[in-house]
Structure 1
Amino acid sequence: MIETDVLVIGSGISGLSYAIKIAQELPQTKITIVTKADEDESNTKYAQGGLAVVTDFDQDNFEKHIADTMRAGDGENKMEIVEMVIREGPARFKELVEWGTHFDRSQTGNYKLGREGGHTENRIVHHKDITGFEIERALLETANSLPTIEILDYHYVVDLITQHQISGRKLDLEHITCYGAYVLDQKTSKIKRIRSKITMVATGGAGHVYKNTTNPSIATGDGIAFVHRARGKVSNMQYYQFHPTALYSKHEGMLFLISEAVRGDGAKLRTKDGKPFMHKYDPREELASRDIVARAIDNELITSGDSYVGLDCRHMDRQKFIEHFPNIYQKCLDEGIDPFKQLIPVVPACHYLMGGIDIDKNGQSSIEHLFACGECTNSGLHGANRLASNSLLEGLVFGHNAAMRSVELLKEDAFNYKDLELIPEWNQEGMKVIDEMVIISYLRKQLQELMSDFVSIVRSNARLQLAKEKQRDIYLAVTELYNFAILSPQLSELRNLVNVSYLIIKHSLEMTQNKGSFYNKDLAKKPLIP
């Protein structure tokens, strides 16, 4: 048994900023952060474009940012949440800078501001094209400097601990309480009980439910899945954003992201043979929101039969491009592509989940003493489609609000210590080691193929019904494995991906109209090309 005051699951911008805030407010509080890979491995690390926040009040204002966010979200956003996040943004951004994060500035000392699809003003603060990497670096340095924060890497959360693990307790679905989590120490292969007064879920997205994604390998929907299994409320899983421009590869898995900021700086989309096409779909062309651009590319590929379209940077300022996008430039060169001589081959790839664990403005989930923050949540900020670079801002604002509410709860100290003492050990008696991991990899590939073919950028009633049937077969096979096998990270990730796929399909079938990133051709009231 490990005992801690606060358990944080995930080490991205949401989890780290939350932990730092509590440690600074209550210096005697013990905080344990668990992460299933290296401490710096998170979706945050791979965020290229930057952070959307109003800093230039001469040209920009909160009302413009709010309007852009609501427009991108197709009006499905919660206005009070959008206003809260955007108005609190500058204060949270200032704290991020105070924690040591560096953002690009001009010679006059002002922040260099980029612009991305869906934004009407330049408001994206960035650190070259590795903004997330820089934020992760600064937050980890700050967290590691605070003595009450302990980071346990290669610790994989299997399930939350709630009343239903305690013998003799009936599960009241209206009053579920979280007491911590069962965690697999991957270095010892032992499952530990971590008992906590408060638990924060900050596990990121679920991109690997599809074949191609911009997400790192850790993005398997773990937090959403184990909250769902604990009977917590999860919603809007039908809204999955596909980034329009990932670098094309013949190999499946994680694709390199070509930041939207490249289009914001003037890059143009072309067919494989060099013809422009975005004018057919939206008057904003390359600066339309991601859902529109991704569907446009998808339609061009279906029509032409090509494997990719091209991103044309040949007319752009070479020196400015290399200065702003050094890693993208180097990646292209490594792949044998000179972006000033030829088109960069790009395809849409699964990128960001707008739905997830239901939370209020303080990050409180439907389960008592369980908070959630970041991409694993449905906060109400993004609606049906996230506006570019709003995700890092969301992590900071909700991380702060959840921390402040957690501090209040810790000061009140009204926790059920009797139940905390009754948490049983994880029971694997009679279980067997899976000696053929090919079974797990096969089922995972089958699930990813199913989701990519039937529940992707464009959906239909027939595809969704078939997906429901095929997903059920995979669920039964994985459940049978889980019931007799000693748990491994691979099996647990597969179990979580199956749960996530079920929710995406279920929520997609419940939709009666197209909104934002969700598009069912059988529900379309007008053709894709206006």
Structure 2
Amino acid sequence: MDAPSYDFVVLGSGIAGLTFALEAAAHANVLVLCKADLQETNTAYAQGGIAAVLSSVDSFEQHVQDTLIAGAGLCNETAVRFMVARAPESINWLQQQRVLFDCAADKSIALGLEGGHSQKRIVHVKDHTGLSIQQALGKAALQHPNITVAPKHLGIDLLIQTTGPRKVCYGVQVLDIKAGTYKTILAKAVVLATGGAGQVYGHTTNPTIATGDGLAMAARAGAAIQNMEFFQFHPTALYDPAAEDTFLISEALRGAGAELVLPTGEAFMQRYHALGSLAPRDIVARAVFEQMQFCQSPCLYLDARQLPTGVIQQKFPSIYNRCKSIGIDPTIQLIPIVPAAHYQCGGVHTDLHGQTSVTGLYAIGEVACTGVHGANRLASNSLLEGVVFGKEAAAHATAKKSKLRITSFKSIVYEVPDTRNDAAVIKLKAELQAIMWEQAGIVRTTAGLQEAMYKLVELNYNLKHLHGFSVTVQEAKNLLMVAELTLEACLKRKGSIGGHFMKVTQNKKQVLAV
């Protein structure tokens, strides 16, 4: 038997995956597989910060209630309380990993405000918190003797042993993208930390690698999937039609005083919510979408002109520089914005230890569904979730380290990598993204969702009849599965709640469901 074996194999190198690896490596050997490079993750694009109760005027109960309200009553309250109580120690742990958070004048950690929060509790590194965390954890992982990092490796299928109703994961099949060869890797436990699936939508703040690979692998292996109808749309992505990527304008800018406005410069969010531009994201995103339709405008605007001199340049340098690169000076001009798919609130169902319904398979971070987000994620709870449940999964996995010994295994045979049909697959992916954006985006209808399901059957058929295997083909296959899971969940969920907003028709008149 010549397949390499590790105690733990982690797919994904964002905050959740690296937290697990660093914690578990004190007791075991860990392989971290990166689809791209170590630093290319959703985490690296997170601008805002991490929510944690660190001031005397704040409390765990307030953080819990803010999370439950944002989640529209569908959060797992036990999981929320579990996460909130561990937030302060998570910040301490990140500081131990050399993450240098911004400080206030008295040298204490500076705390910002974001939508849905009743207190200032957002810990940040200017407007590039995720990137700073990614760099610190990545450096620590590379220096750890018990962690092996393998970039350019794509997970394809989980290795599953089935005995009666019990499924056990004992490894993973991967593609070495650079070498163009397949590998079978055995493990006492496999950890999915592959992030979300924003690329299923035509407009997303997610990087190109966010194609739902871990979610699709888990679904194919028979793991339970939950809450896929709740996809969060961020209300303020930079409107730049010429750009190949979608740049996020952090909610922290609104927390600092920027206001959402119409093309006329008129503020409008008070019509929708008492918190105005700092209302929960699902409410703000729908309001922006609705006003764009009313105004027949391709975008709305963020007005940061009233912020004190120097604040944007000093606290939001990434946003300031990106705006300046397209000819916009946010200190004297309005910033054009549009909503974009941002965060997958559902995912692979887990318990508080990151365990899935498949023995030996853990899921942490955005790919997982612990229930802490419910129908809509509270701002800056995502990086927190990655640390809290990454640490908890590592503690559980090392304490319960499987004694499973595989005496024989069957490698899955795949086609030789072939990119000749990639152009056709890219076109198919674009069709899927357009369908999902139009029919399963910010506002949905039953008829539109059903139509999308019919089109999905056709796209699946077309993909199966394109010969050859490649990374592009695998990503399209995974996105199609994500789309199917999402559409099915949308159709099962009756009415509107949180990130799932259904528009229904009655007597040929359109009425917004509540």
Normalising by structure 2, we get a TM-score of 0.96
Q: Which residue is 1:52 aligned to?
A: 51
Q: Distance in 2 between matches of 1:42 and 1:432?
A: 24
1:460 alignment partner AA: T
Q: Which residue is 1:274 aligned to?
A: 265
Q: Distance in 2 between matches of 1:528 and 1:335?
A: 37
Q: Distance in 2 between matches of 1:372 and 1:267?
A: 36
Structure 2: which 5+ residue stretches go unaligned?
Answer: none
Contact 1:269 1:276 in 2 (8 A): yes
Q: Which residue is 1:231 aligned to?
A: 222
Q: Distance in 2 between matches of 1:241 and 1:289?
A: 10
Q: Distance in 1 between matches of 2:513 and 2:504?
A: 15
1:9 alignment partner AA: L
Deviations 1:474-511 (A, max 9, x none): 11222333xx52x2111100000000000010000001
1:502 to 481, 484, 488: 484
Q: Distance in 2 between matches of 1:93 and 1:283?
A: 31
1:425 to 411, 418, 422: 411
Contact 1:192 1:426 in 2 (8 A): no
Contact 1:72 1:386 in 2 (8 A): yes
**Aligned ranges for residues 54-93 of structure 1 at < 5 Å?**
54-56=53-55, 58-93=56-91
Q: Distance in 2 between matches of 1:23 and 1:247?
A: 40
Q: Which residue is 2:134 aligned to?
A: 136
- 1:80 offset after TM fit, Å? 0.6
Q: Which residue is 1:127 aligned to?
A: 125
Distance 1:451 1:251, change over 3 A: farther
**Is residue 374 of structure 1 aligned with residue 365 of structure 2?**
yes
Q: Distance in 2 between matches of 1:252 and 1:355?
A: 29
Q: Which residue is 2:493 aligned to?
A: 511
Q: Distance in 2 between matches of 1:18 and 1:272?
A: 46
Q: Which runs of 4+ in 1 moved over 4 A?
A: 526-530
Aligned residues: 510
- 1:428 offset after TM fit, Å? 3.3
- 1:513 offset after TM fit, Å? 2.2
**Is residue 195 of structure 1 aligned with residue 176 of structure 2?**
no
Structure 1: which 5+ residue stretches go unaligned?
Answer: 164-169
Q: Distance in 2 between matches of 1:424 and 1:99?
A: 40
Q: Which residue is 2:152 aligned to?
A: 154
Deviations 1:31-54 (A, max 9, x none): 100011010111111110100001
2:173 to 179, 182, 187: 182
Q: Distance in 2 between matches of 1:527 and 1:327?
A: 41
1:298 to 268, 283, 289: 289
**Is residue 41 of structure 1 aligned with residue 40 of structure 2?**
yes
**Is residue 468 of structure 1 aligned with residue 461 of structure 2?**
no
Identity %: 39
Q: Distance in 2 between matches of 1:342 and 1:529?
A: 37
Contact 2:261 2:268 in 1 (8 A): yes
Contact 1:212 1:253 in 2 (8 A): no
- 1:187 offset after TM fit, Å? 1.1
Q: Which residue is 1:395 aligned to?
A: 386
Contact 2:10 2:21 in 1 (8 A): yes
2:219 alignment partner AA: H
**Is residue 116 of structure 1 aligned with residue 105 of structure 2?**
no
Q: Secondary structure at the match of 2:331?
A: coil
Contact 1:232 1:365 in 2 (8 A): yes
- 1:520 offset after TM fit, Å? 0.3
Normalising by structure 1, we get a TM-score of 0.93
**Is residue 241 of structure 1 aligned with residue 244 of structure 2?**
no
Q: Distance in 1 between matches of 2:330 and 2:455?
A: 42
Q: Secondary structure at the match of 2:504?
A: helix
Q: Which residue is 1:21 aligned to?
A: 23
Q: Secondary structure at the match of 1:438?
A: helix
Q: Distance in 2 between matches of 1:252 and 1:76?
A: 36
Q: Secondary structure at the match of 1:182?
A: strand
Distance 1:523 1:262, change over 3 A: farther
Q: Secondary structure at the match of 2:141?
A: helix
- 1:529 offset after TM fit, Å? 12
Contact 1:51 1:389 in 2 (8 A): yes
- 1:247 offset after TM fit, Å? 0.1
Q: Which residue is 2:95 aligned to?
A: 97
Deviations 1:219-272 (A, max 9, x none): 000010010011110010000000000000214753100000000111111111
Q: Distance in 2 between matches of 1:518 and 1:140?
A: 35
1:23 alignment partner AA: A
**Aligned ranges for residues 202-351 of structure 1 at < 5 Å?**
202-251=193-242, 254-351=245-342
Distance 1:227 1:529, change over 3 A: closer
Contact 1:246 1:255 in 2 (8 A): yes
- 1:464 offset after TM fit, Å? 0.7
Distance 1:83 1:188, change over 3 A: same
Contact 2:169 2:190 in 1 (8 A): yes
- 1:323 offset after TM fit, Å? 1.1
- 1:88 offset after TM fit, Å? 1.1
Q: Distance in 1 between matches of 2:206 and 2:243?
A: 12
Q: Secondary structure at the match of 2:302?
A: strand
